[in-house]
Structure 1
């Protein structure tokens, strides 16, 4: 099976959101946008205000409520995680992985950050990119 088939299979189980719907959904206190883009992309293009930054290689450990390395917001499986990457490809695979962990409300943003920016949704340009959230554990965990 190739990557396109893998991606299509992952997306078939997601209720993907366009950027405007993702922004609206993020106003709910049990919903969080998770930005998985690497620091260089966030530094160059900006960030989504209020998004939780977790680079892709730590995602499952930070969002699994049973993980010792979870972030404080990862309290149970009913949290809605809306994953965002640069173009909406790796975020689909990431959201599918979260669903496999039992985080059944996880989804992603169609078109990723590029579509978010094109929709004119809020972006901030901090002096330095936000650091990933580690939930009180060391980044090397």
Structure 2
């Protein structure tokens, strides 16, 4: 096998996680109950098949930065740079990259869920039927 030149996806992931204080499912649930914004970046078909976290907001990855830029004109109305945001995906990989990007655009309390939605579900935390249409 040929060695990969440069910076690979595993390096990118490790770098992103080095910038975050990631949260376990129980802590994410505490944050949710305290008013943090849980943002589900999983595709609609995953949410439909597996369910969703109550009070989470589905925002697909393609528009994430535009909806969560605390200084942008397309942001969610209630969002500020001090909003606590926990990003989640299926298993906690894409969410680490997304949370890192959100921090870079000024959302200083952005982080992600260790193990993603599947860890949340495995921990026995509340879920609901999925399929909520994402914010576009």
State which of 36, 50, 60 in structure 1 corresponds to 2:55.
Answer: 50
State which of 14, 19, 22 in structure 1 corresponds to 2:25.
Answer: 19
CA distance in 1 between partners of 2:71 and 2:101 (Å): 15
SS in 2 for 1:49: coil
State which of 113, 130, 133 in structure 2 corresponds to 1:131.
Answer: 133
Count of equivalent residues: 130
Q: Which runs of 4+ in 1 moved over 4 A?
A: none
TM-score for the superposition, normalised by structure 2: 0.92
CA distance in 2 between partners of 1:78 and 1:86 (Å): 26
Residue of structure 2 equivalent to 1:115: 119
Q: Deviations over 1:35-91 (max 9, x none)?
A: 0000000000001110011001111100112222111221x1100110000010000
Residue of structure 2 equivalent to 1:65: 70
TM-score for the superposition, normalised by structure 1: 0.89
Residue of structure 1 equivalent to 2:90: 86
Structure 1 portions without partners, runs of 5+: 134-138
Q: Does 1:102 align with 2:101?
A: no
| CA-based RMSD | 0.9
For the pair shown, which has the larger CA radius of gyration, 1 or 2?
2
Return the offset for 1:28.
1.7
Structure 2 portions without partners, runs of 5+: 1-6
SS in 1 for 2:86: strand
